[in-house]
Amino acid sequence: MKRLLLTAGLSLALGTAAQATTVHILMENVPDTQFVKDQLPEFKAKTGIDVDIEAISYIDMHSKLVPQLSSPQGSYDAIVVDFYWVAEFTQAGWLMPLDDLIKRDNVDTNVYLPALMNLVGRVNGVTYMLPFYNYSMGIIYRKDLVADPKEQAAFKAKYGIDLKIPTTWDEYQKQVEFFSRDTNGDGKLDFFGTVNQGQRGDCISMQWSNYLYANGGQYHNKDWKATFNSPAGIKAIEDYKTDIAKHGPAGAESYCFDEASNVFGQGKAYSFVTFNILLSGFSDPKSSQVVGKADIAANPGGGLNGGWGWAIPNSSPEKDAAWTFIKWIESKETVKKRALEGGAPTQGWLFDDPEIIAKRPEMPQLKVLVATAQEFPTFTYTVDFVESLGRELNLAVTGQKDAKQALDTAASDFNKLAVKAGLQK
């Protein structure tokens, strides 16, 4: 009897040990991560695999990932990769090619929007990631103000054009000027046409990119020579400076997107050039005073394309389980649930799904936004370039450096890095 009990106990223990596979994932603390977390019990019930998500803030992610990825056996089985890091991670050989698994399991990667598959999916013909969510940038604006007949009449009287969703940069800048107001007559603006996120580093680099594209500028030509120190680049800086000085809140040159979105969320601004994923936050009555009043439009000239992809590091201890998870979380049924909750989809069909559009009417606009988005230069030293660009832009915007000089310095840094990465001869 004793032996029987022992055997039974042992086999039970072994059985549990065999089943207790856990997939460890490092993720950023954003709404889409929460939507993924919400679905984990279902995955566990289906496969018996536990998923442990470590959600941290963006600023800590890169420095936490690199040591794990470069060691022979890391502690993360699956990771999410920001588009910034794609070239760096793939060039260092840290990510596992997924093509064989995709072929073996008949995973259809044609469902993804091509712009996102290029950004956070395929590199030089090899699939390293499945696009997870997009954060392409656009203009979040107050639709109630645009629809207000009084505002429409006043706008028409002042500029001779209709007040509507802006399709050109000039039209948008006119709206920004129009809505910048001193409502209590104390001589200071208290309702802002736009809010900038001008903090040195990636905050200003990302937002300013939209100003650059809108003015017809590009970062580099096909030989990877910097071209953004052009008249378009200078005009983009001038527009950015004017928006901070004349149409925005004090201190916007030190805001990142959280401070800026608070100003918009408190109902103190007409618009905000930013990441599309922030829109869902404005429909939460707990943190927003503009519930039901915010909508999103594509940036004229295209906004900055951004996104994250699921990947399996070569240092992953549980590659099979990680793949099972990625396959499931990107399955049609699961991504639809996430989109219904407010997630930012990457698969094209979700933007046209009637059920989703019924719940999220902004979907067709989002599709245009992602489809017209422009790619930020992604190469091995993107992170370093963003830092240099962010510093120079901030110097120019705070009046410490002439716009042309600042752009020339950033362009020279870009060229050096492009040479270092072997892209420019």
Partner 1 sequence: MTVAADRLPSLDRRFGWAMTAPGLLALSLVVLFPLFFAIFTSGFEYTLLHRKYDTFVWLDNYRSIWSEGYLGQSLWVTTTFVVAVVLLEFLIGFTVALMLNAVQRFKDVYYLILLMPLLINPVVVGLIWRMFLHPELGIVNYVLSLLHLGPVNWLGDVRVAFWTVVLVDIWHQVSFMIVLLLAGLASLPREPYEAARMDGASIVQAFFYVTLPLMRPVIVVTLLIRMIFAVKTFDLIFVMTRGGPGTSTDLISYFIYRSAFYGLDLGKASAISVVLLLVVLALTGYLYRYMRSLA
Among 197, 377, 394, 411, binds partner 1 (CB under 8 A): 394
Q: Are 397 and 241 spatial neighbours (Cβ–Cβ below 8 Å)?
A: yes
Q: Contact between 229 and partner 1 (CB under 8 A)?
A: no
**Which C-beta is closer to partner 1: that of 59 or that of 161?**
59
What character string, x for contact with partner 1 (CB under 8 A) and - otherwise, covers 199-218? xxx-x---------------
Which residues inside 290-349 make contact with partner 1, applying CB under 8 A? none
Q: Contact between 55 and partner 1 (CB under 8 A)?
A: no
Q: Judged by CB under 8 A, which stretch of 14-22, 249-257, 308-316, 363-371 contacts partner 1?
A: 249-257
Q: Contact between 59 and partner 1 (CB under 8 A)?
A: yes
**Which C-beta is closer to partner 1: that of 214 or that of 395?**
395
Q: Judged by CB under 8 A, which stretch of 2-10, 95-103, 282-290, 379-387 contacts partner 1?
A: 379-387
Q: Contact between 252 and partner 1 (CB under 8 A)?
A: yes
Taking the complex as a whole, how short is the minimal distance between the CB of residue 388 and partner 1, in angstroms? 9
Which residues inside 115-174 make contact with partner 1, applying CB under 8 A? none
Q: Judged by CB under 8 A, which stretch of 118-126, 146-154, 196-204, 371-379 contacts partner 1?
A: 196-204
Among 225, 268, 293, 367, binds partner 1 (CB under 8 A): 268
Taking the complex as a whole, how short is the minimal distance between the CB of residue 190 and partner 1, in angstroms? 9
Among 74, 121, 138, 249, binds partner 1 (CB under 8 A): 249
Among 29, 47, 254, 314, binds partner 1 (CB under 8 A): 254
| Backbone φ, ψ for residue 80 (5° rounding) | -110, 140
Among 381, 389, 407, 411, binds partner 1 (CB under 8 A): 381
Q: Are 392 and 414 spatial neighbours (Cβ–Cβ below 8 Å)?
A: no
Among 29, 109, 152, 398, binds partner 1 (CB under 8 A): 398
Residues 6+ apart with CB under 8 A from 152: 146, 162, 163
Q: Contact between 177 and partner 1 (CB under 8 A)?
A: no
**Which C-beta is closer to partner 1: that of 217 or that of 265?**
265
Among 110, 124, 184, 400, binds partner 1 (CB under 8 A): 400
**Which C-beta is closer to partner 1: that of 155 or that of 219?**
219
Taking the complex as a whole, how short is the minimal distance between the CB of residue 188 and partner 1, in angstroms? 8
**Which C-beta is closer to partner 1: that of 253 or that of 318?**
253
With CB under 8 A as the rule, give the number of residues binding partner 1.
Answer: 41
What character string, x for contact with partner 1 (CB under 8 A) and - otherwise, covers 62-101? xx--x---x-----------------x--xx---------
Nearest to 302 by CA among 409, 197, 404, 374: 374
What 3 state SS string does the chain have? CHHHHHHHHHHHHHHHHHHCCEEEEEEECCHHHHHHHHCHHHHHHHHCCEEEEEEECHHHHHHHHHHHHHCCCCCCCEEEEEHHHHHHHHHCCCECCCHHHHHHCCCCHHHECHHHHHHHCEECCEECEEEEEECCEEEEEEHHHHCCHHHHHHHHHHHCCCCCCCCCHHHHHHHHHHHCECCCCCCCCCEEEECCCCCCCHHHHHHHHHHHHHCCCCCECCCCCECCCCHHHHHHHHHHHHHHHHHCCCCHHHCCHHHHHHHHHCCCEEEEEEEHHHHHHHHCCCCCCCCCCEEEEECCCCCECCEEEEECECCCCCHHHHHHHHHHHCCHHHHHHHHHHCCCCCEHHHHHCHHHHHHCCCHHHHHHHHHCCECCCCCCCHHHHHHHHHHHHHHHHCCCCCHHHHHHHHHHHHHHHHHHCCCCC
The two three-digit tokens of residue 267, written as one number = 């109902």
Residue 107 exposed, middle or buried by CB count within 10 Å (0-12, 13-18, 19+): middle
Taking the complex as a whole, how short is the minimal distance between the CB of residue 398 and partner 1, in angstroms? 4
Taking the complex as a whole, how short is the minimal distance between the CB of residue 271 and partner 1, in angstroms? 16
Other Cβ atoms within 10 Å of 411 Cβ, number:
22
Q: Contact between 243 and partner 1 (CB under 8 A)?
A: no
- Residues forming the site for partner 1 (CB under 8 A): 59, 62-63, 66, 70, 88, 91-92, 188, 198-201, 203, 249-255, 259, 262-263, 266, 268, 380-381, 383-384, 386-387, 390-391, 394-395, 398-401, 409
